Structure 1
């Protein structure tokens, strides 16, 4: 048994994509998004316990896709909840008892750099958490309720990605609470315990595929990456 796990969350219906098939099942350069994401984690360490969180109604469809694409990366499928918080908690509840570290990752981020994943486990083992972030390139402004806006120093802000990796005992304790509105990601759940998160650098290509425009960019990345 490995002491590392990865929970890939893909419980959404993909409504912003505008099509009948949820974004996580759409092919990018010939392979469905989720299969690409699972493969990245498998390639860095085949012993990682891979947990894929899906809507329960999608289980049979996912099984058909795996057969169609002859997808053989070993993984377990867990039913999602009514929110991302509940889906992650279901994934955490399914961990093997000896698991020490867990990476929580958006299933629709198939281009995370393997080096980022490895660094996240290393830092989380030492610090308790490792939250992947990117520096901002554009100038930013803060909007106020009265319609005004104010310049903000971009060096003081970061864009948050996944994976967000944690020591299992800590993140399980963090998720053993009532869901709150301010829980926008796993880091905010962790912080709710009064713990400071540790940030690590992500990679630019690690986009979250949400819209048709994202799919076009994903095709470009995949073509460039694997050509």
Structure 2
């Protein structure tokens, strides 16, 4: 029986991405994009081995990933060429003479699903070549010299993705013929088979809208949201067993949890067997703006339970007023509690969370995306929380395996909102219990550096 070899093509320089490193090494949810791609095949039971084709300058990074993540299926890390097809040929040569199927996949498609991989492997039992594609959404036009030359029927058009898979003897034969052709132009691997082995049938299996190729910086924003939806299980509530298994005997510290979202997080965690300690100005006289208060709170919990698994910071105040009319002491209150407080909690929590590979959960507000009159202090402080979370997500994971995420709820029915906005249509507001459940789901997830949107 043929072995299934996943070939991760990572030779690109990513010049269009705007970074000083290739795009496959950019961070997504606390890991590089290529790590997510490798893990999709590492975790699939139909994949026997993984071969990574990369530029020689970045081979050391791949080796570091393999060691750090203990990838068992990565058996080869080989050098590619300056063109994509040269990387494919490099992999073909590495397995020449062996009874294998080669499953080529772009390193910058981190969302390839188990279903796609399974469909590709199954198709290889009946075909020598397999492509992955989705139906075209837009009308495709053929243009020559700025003029539409043809408009193919959209029903016949599909958008190609990866992986593309082949029996090794088929793809080798196609490239042997291509390299003899002086007019050979770079194309994808299925394109080579189609041109040089025109009688070879190429089966197409259905891809996924999520299976995007990350090419530009803005694609990372889309990828972040896809990652959340695939990982968070953004539902009102999961099975009781799910929470009991993951929360029982965990130690959760909540700053600002005397009411609203924080209080609901505390109650849910307690209901499923977690040990929860709440610190706030109103209940324990704990001020997150005071580093000593935060230090003392965390030390007390650690001394009591011997560990801390999760730290949640919901502490914040809202002063809805034009800046020119805001008293200076209130300005300092907002800055100290909303921003400095988050810094204090993060800095003090690290020493405890790194022992449990735990998570710090911050809270922002939908107002962070655009400052509005009357919200200058609140909106800007919440924007700072987003940037702090994203930066710490990389810092803490790289050094300490501590995850940092941020919840971004839309307007929520809390005492702070009622105080500032009075009575509103409750149907237009989020229930704090729903926000709390998504917060718990985030704590139980594996990603980091994410801003998790919670909408009605």
Say whether the fold is shared (TM-score over 0.5): yes
Deviation at 1:189, TM superposition (A): 1.2
Counterpart Cα distance in 2 of 1:66 and 1:186: 26
Structure 2, unaligned stretches of length 5 or more?
Answer: 233-456
Residues 71 and 141 from structure 1, CA distance in 2 versus in 1: closer, same or farther, beyond 3 angstroms?
Answer: same
1:193 matched residue in structure 2: 197
Deviation at 1:211, TM superposition (A): 0.4
The correspondence of residues 130-209 of structure 1 with structure 2, limited to 5 A, is 130-145=130-145, 147-148=147-148, 151-177=151-177, 178=179, 181-191=184-194, 192-194=196-198, 195-209=200-214
2:217 matched residue in structure 1: 212
Q: Does 1:72 align with 2:76?
A: no
Cα deviation digits, residues 142-200 of structure 1 (max 9, x gap): 32325346543211211111111111111121122317544410001112122231111
Deviation at 1:66, TM superposition (A): 4.6
SS of the aligned residue for 1:161 comes to strand
Q: Contact conserved, 1:17 with 1:212, CA < 8 A, in 2?
A: yes
The correspondence of residues 37-52 of structure 1 with structure 2, limited to 5 A, is 37-45=37-45, 48-52=48-52
Residues 147 and 208 from structure 1, CA distance in 2 versus in 1: closer, same or farther, beyond 3 angstroms?
Answer: same
Greater C-alpha radius of gyration: 2
TM-score (norm 2): 0.47
Q: Which moved more, 1:97-106 or 1:184-193?
A: 97-106
Counterpart Cα distance in 1 of 2:61 and 2:42: 22
SS of the aligned residue for 1:198 comes to strand
Structure ranking higher in helix proportion: 2
Counterpart Cα distance in 2 of 1:33 and 1:146: 36
Counterpart Cα distance in 2 of 1:130 and 1:148: 31
Point out which structure has higher relative CO (alpha carbons under 8 A, 6+ apart): 1
RMSD: 2.1
Structure 1, unaligned stretches of length 5 or more?
Answer: none
Q: Contact conserved, 1:2 with 1:49, CA < 8 A, in 2?
A: no
Deviation at 1:44, TM superposition (A): 1.2
Counterpart Cα distance in 1 of 2:17 and 2:2: 36
Structure ranking higher in strand proportion: 1
Residues 54 and 138 from structure 1, CA distance in 2 versus in 1: closer, same or farther, beyond 3 angstroms?
Answer: same
Q: Contact conserved, 2:130 with 2:166, CA < 8 A, in 1?
A: yes
SS of the aligned residue for 2:165 comes to strand
Counterpart Cα distance in 2 of 1:118 and 1:154: 27
